Amino acid sequence: MAVLYGVTNLTEQDTPVEVVVPSGIRFGPMAGLRVHTVDLAPDDVLARQGIPVTTPKRTCWDLARWIDLVEAVALVDQFLARRIVTTPELRDHALRRTGDRGWRLMLRVVDLADPGSESPQESRLRVRLVLAGVPRPETQYVVQDRRGFVARVDLAWPDVRVAVEYDGLWHNDSAQFHRDRQRLNRLLGSDWLVLHVTAQRLRDDFDGIVTELRAALRRRSPTR
């Protein structure tokens, strides 16, 4: 249902589509679909483009119950960033269902979610770092000096001036690369330490990323 709200983080072409069917209705099985039969309250459903779909709050609830924690947060981040739903609304939705199967999972997803994320990969990186025990960063942090704006970074620990930048495919563009290097030089001039993460490192060397980041945070700590 998330796709119908313009929200997606599918990483593989053959990922099954998750669909909801109200209890008492027979549907499927069908190739390419993963069908969930659930009890739906009247206020769990609305019409979108003429199609009955679960509401944003109910959709986030189901995502939290059905899929991997990191992937669920990456999707919920987009719901929040698009202002389709708010963090207080999702938390209230979970608390009003205290005791129902999945309400704790929903709260966990909400606590990890952040509307500041600008891509699913940034979300995955941030959540995996937090789950690894790294202090939670600020997202899309604006760095300023006495002359004003310096740069905006993906993830930041402002108290120690450490930032992490996720380098997506757009960084392969020569003009973008030029702008990024200008921005990096300005950050270094403001005494910021910037670590860069690529898709390959996130996939193949996450432990190395965590080790480097912890060392950077420790080195910059005023109590060191």
- What does the pLDDT read at residue 181? 62
Taking the C-alpha atoms of residue 169 and residue 98, their distance in angstroms, rounded to an integer, is 42
pLDDT tens for 109-165 read 999 999 999 999 999 999 999 999 999 999 999 998 888 888 899 999 999 999 999
Tokens 């119950």 locate to 65
| Average pLDDT score over the chain | 87
**122-220 sits in which CATH class?**
alpha beta
Q: Where are the domains of the chain?
A: 2-115, 122-220
pTM of the shown model: 0.86
Secondary structure class of 23 (helix, strand, coil): coil
Q: How far, in Å, CA of 7 to CA of 116, rounded?
A: 15
Parallel/antiparallel/unpaired status of strands 193-198 and 162-167: parallel
Residue 202: φ, ψ to 5°: -60, -35
pLDDT tens digits for range 169-203: 554 555 655 566 666 767 766 789 999 999 999 99
Lowest-confidence range among 24-28, 44-48, 147-151?
A: 24-28
Mean pLDDT confidence for 71-87:
96
